[in-house]
Structure formats: C-alpha cells, structure tokens
Amino acid sequence: MLAVGDRVVYPSYGAGVIEAIEEHTVLGERHNYYVLTIPYGGMKVMIPLEKVESVGLREVITEVDIPRVVEILRTPPSQYNVSWNRRFHLNMAKVKSGSIFEVAEVVRNLTLQDRVKRLSTGERRLLETARQILISELVLVCGKDVHSTEMWINGLFLEDTQGN
C-alpha cells in the first residue's frame, strides 16, 4: 500500500505526491482516497484506494532510469507510414499505458513530426498532454522545477537538430 509522501504517477494526469489519505462519502458509500498533488499545474486529484490498480497508479521511476528516457528522446523515431488518425490512436494508447518510456516516445515522435509537417489540433493536444505527463514525472525524479525540466527537454531536441 502506498503512503503519504510517496511519489506516484497517475497515467491520465501525470506524477505527483500523495498528500493525504482521506475518507469521503460518495453516493451514500464511504471510501478511502489518495489525495494526490501534481506539481505541473498544481492540480489535486482524488483516487479511490480500491481503484489504484485499474487506473494504473504506479511509483515514479528512479534516477537510474533517466538515461533510458534521454536515449528514447534522442533516438530517431521509426517511420509511421499510417494516416494521422491511426498515428493518433497509437500514440494515445502509449500515453494511457502509464509508461514513461512510451510517453517519451510520443513526445519525441510528435515533436519531430511537428517539425516536418504541422500537427493536427488533436495531435497537438496529445503532444501537450504527453509533455505534461513526462515533465511532471521528471520534476519529481530530478528534483528540479517545472521550468528547468522543460528547458532541459527542449535542449535535448535542440542538440538533435544541431547534430550533437
């Protein structure tokens, strides 16, 4: 069981810290909830304890996993020879998986795709969601603020275009 102070990832919203475990009555039934604060945007989310597995709540990665995230962001994407609609659904499934490594792939693929051909509105929103999820977890793992983490991620893509 998770505890107050644990750093976790809620796949739909990003990474945060469990601030409390509270009991609330909803529709006449009492349930215990994790109260999660997500640093990226300052959102608070309540997750029923009995739904933790079904929503995919997991602990954040460790510092030893950061090089793998960086490698994914720097590795050229496999070419998608599919329509934008199919690409959107493939990327959406990766974001919903809750895996930071799959989310990093989506950030990389859509960022680089946007450089070649402007993304559709749906893909642009998906890129922003994926970036938020990725950055929120890296903020907690690296101990940096949101702005510094965003600049670091942006720098990885600049290095790529400059041939470094």
Please give the Cα distance from 58 to 10 (Å, whole number). 7
Fold observed for domain 63-161: Methane Monooxygenase Hydroxylase; Chain G, domain 1 (1.20.58)
C-beta of residue 84 within 8 angstroms of C-beta of residue 53: no
pLDDT at 41: 79
Rounded to 5°, angle at Cα 97 from 50 and 131 = 115
Q: Where in the chain is the domain with CATH 1.20.58.1290?
A: 63-161
- Give which of 7, 31, 9, 35 is closest to 21, Cα–Cα: 35
* Whether the predicted pLDDT of 60 surpasses 60: yes
Query: In the chain, pLDDT over 70 holds for what percent of residues?
Result: 95
pLDDT at 84: 80
Please give the Cα distance from 164 to 162 (Å, whole number). 6
Q: Where in the chain is the domain with CATH 2.40.10.170?
A: 7-59
pLDDT at 49: 94
Largest CA distance in the chain: 60
Which residues partner with 7 through β-bridges?
Answer: 17
Q: What is the pLDDT of residues 89-125, one digit of tens each?
A: 999 999 999 899 999 999 999 999 888 888 989 999 9
Q: Specify the pTM.
A: 0.88
Supply the CATH classification number for the domain 7-59.
Answer: 2.40.10.170
* Whether the predicted pLDDT of 154 surpasses 80: yes
Rounded to 5°, angle at Cα 145 from 158 and 3 = 125
Please report which confidence band the pLDDT of residue 42 belongs to, taking 50, 70 and 90 as the band edges: confident
Q: What's the mean pLDDT when you consider all of the chain?
A: 90
